[in-house]
Amino acid sequence: MLVVAAPASLLAQGTNARLAIARTPTNLVVSWTGGGTLQSSAHVEGPWLDLLEGTNPWRATSLSLRQFYRVINRWGTRASLIEANSEMAVAELAGKIYVLGGYPASRITVRTVQVYDAATDRWSLTTPMPLPLNHQMAAAVNGRLYVIGGQTTDSGTGSFTNTVFEFNPATSNWTSMAPMPTSRSAGAPAVIGNLIYVAGGRPPRGADFAVYDTSSNRWTTLPNMPTARNHIAAAAIDGKIYVAGGRLGSGFTSPMTNVLEVFDPAMAMWSTRAPMPTTRGGVNGIAVDGCFFVFGGEGPNGVFDEMEMYVQAQNRWYSLESLPVAIHGVTGAAFVNGWIHMPGGGTHTGGSSGSTLHQVFWVGGICP
């Protein structure tokens, strides 16, 4: 007989929700108020496992097991940004999160670099970038931060750059490095070792794909991405580059895609994997524990609050808890001490809603 009991499990963890449990002749029905993620365990002390894509109500059909249930909230917040921002780049280096450039509601591009210290939950400012940039790509390699490409105005059809700047946190100095082979913005970076792969960009550079070797300060042009697109999410998993979603045209009203394409550097070839559940552009993403998390986005009908996770070993996507506040306009993310950080971003379509939000998502135990 299935027995459900848990002094702390009936009261959802980290939420205001409450579980309700009902039994029918054929199954057990678990329902809860509010949002959150349903978890189950054979023991009240755990380990607890997420019931991925567990619908509310949840119906357990096996009545031969003892099982405990609880609801947790994986979302939280941290200290707000110093300045509201969107259409900027984000990267993590040595436990600190850098928010670079972008623009506030005025749509005037800035050089500002905001730095978040996860140990103290505080923001500070460091040396501004050499150029005001938005829609640029940022990545950290071997103790240095790299800012690649972008654009210098809010126009979606010009002012693209091929500049590369290296930031040394020990000196707070910026250095110009070898430029990208082409000028582009609104692409996405992914890192493998000393290499930074940069995929996509606004038209006409949507298929561009190149890799920067930080050890030699050299670029190599690679085979074009099969689906030309921009405002995408990219990440590296097991030595391969995954690129998800994006828009096909320049602006947020243009057609979008849910395609997931994968580049294998060893074979110098692209392949296609299972598409995202939600077609969207203006997305952001990060790889953690072999899973690819893609969140937020923007399209003709508004801003997306979806958080979806791709499990590479299963070639399958899962829909997770929605973002508390839907955002777009952030390229790059950070993972620190078990949390994915999503600082800033626009809360409405277009580029005039940059925020000081700092949302975080707890990853622990969610990746199968």
For residues 191 and 312, state if they share a domain. Answer: yes
Check whether residue 44 and residue 121 sit in a common domain.
no
What integer pLDDT is reported at residue 15 of this predicted model? 59
Report DSSP state, residue 65: S
> Residue 35 has what pLDDT?
76
Do 23 and 103 lie in one domain? The reply is no
Separation of alpha carbons 308 and 366, rounded Å: 12
Considering the domain boundaries, does residue 4 fall inside one?
no
Rounded to the nearest integer, the mean pLDDT of the chain is: 92
Do 208 and 266 lie in one domain? The reply is yes
Residue 13 pLDDT > 80: no
Residue 178 falls inside a structural domain: yes
| Residue-range definition of the domain harbouring residue 159 | 76-362
Domain-located, residue 351: yes
Residue 213 placed within a domain: yes
Check whether residue 267 and residue 310 sit in a common domain.
yes
How confident is the model over 259-316, as pLDDT tens digits?
999 999 999 999 999 999 999 999 999 999 999 999 999 999 999 999 999 999 999 9
- As a whole number of angstroms, the distance between CA 83 and CA 85 comes to 6
Q: Residues 178-190: pLDDT tens digits? A: 999 999 999 999 9
- At 151, list the tokens: 């654009």
Do residue 121 and residue 42 come from a single domain? no
What are the distances in angstroms from CA 296 to CA 187, 196, 308?
16, 23, 9
The verdict on residue 12 lying in a domain is no
pLDDT at res. 283: 98
On whether both 195 and 303 belong to a single domain, the answer is yes
Residue 9 has pLDDT above 60, yes or no: no
Contacting residues for 76 by C-beta, under 8 A, at least 6 apart = 339, 359, 360, 361, 362
**pLDDT computed for residue 8 by the predictor:** 39
Q: Is 331 exposed, middle or buried (0-12, 13-18, 19+ CB in 10 A)?
A: buried
Paired sense of beta strands 218-221 and 233-237, if any = unpaired
Percent of the chain with pLDDT over 90: 76
CATH number of the domain within which 88 lies = 2.120.10.80
Whole-prediction pTM: 0.93
Please indicate, yes or no, if residue 188 is contained in any of the structural domains.
Answer: yes
Which pLDDT does position 1 carry in this prediction?
34
pLDDT of the residue at 180? 98
Closest CA to 203 of 240, 255, 270, 243: 255
pLDDT confidence band for 62 (50 / 70 / 90): low
Tell whether 125 is covered by a domain: yes
Q: Which of 73, 100, 116 is the last residue of a domain?
A: 73
Considering the domain architecture, whether residues 129 and 36 belong to the same structural domain is answered as no
What total of structural domains would you count in the chain? 2
Task: Confirm if 301 and 57 have CB atoms less than 8 A apart.
Answer: no
Residue 233 and residue 297: Cα distance in Å, rounded?
10
Which of the listed residues 73, 94, 119 is the one where a domain comes to its end? 73
**Based on the domain organization, do 138 and 279 belong to the same domain?**
yes
Q: Are residues 41 and 182 in the same domain?
A: no
Tell me: do 296 and 229 sit in the same domain. Answer: yes
At 12, the pLDDT band (50, 70, 90 cuts) reads very low
Distance CA 89, CA 53 (A): 30
User: Which candidate, 102, 101, 100, 98, places its Cα nearest to that of 117?
Assistant: 98
Do 165 and 232 fall within a single domain?
A: yes
Residue 7 falls inside a structural domain: no
